[in-house]
Amino acid sequence: MNMILSIAAGGAIGAVGRYLTMVGIGQWIGHGFPYGTLIVNIVGSFALGSLIEILALTWSPSVEIRAFFIVGLLGAFTTFSTFSLDVITLIERGEFLPAASYIIASVVVSIAALFFGMMIFRHILA
């Protein structure tokens, strides 16, 4: 139960942080390009990379604290950071073809799935 509460607390903070960041960026730069999403993904990926190295080299908190930050906070702030970590993990293992396949499949298939979901419900609900 502590694990679930840790993730939920981190997720709440991460989701609100994402919302506030995206609104602030939109007000500052504008809404013509998804700058808010881009910045959230870059900042989240940088934060996850930094945290992973800190955890590996100098800090050993409980599994609940790790889950709070990685799964909850950063997971809700941006799932792109998790995708980025998965890619780097495959590359560091020397698994270049699986990494490239994962990148292509994640981007292309996710965009296609979003498109098809939209098309299906446009058809059903129109």
**What mean pLDDT is reported for the chain?**
92
Q: Report how far residue 51's alpha carbon sits from residue 29's, in angstroms, rounded to the nearest whole number.
A: 28
**15 contacts 72 by C-beta, under 8 angstroms:** no
Q: What does the pLDDT look like over 56-87, one tens digit per residue? A: 999 999 999 999 999 999 999 987 877 888 89
pTM exceeds 0.85, yes or no: no
Question: CA-CA distances (angstroms) from residue 67 to 18, 56, 107?
Answer: 18, 15, 26
Would you state the pLDDT for residue 90?
93
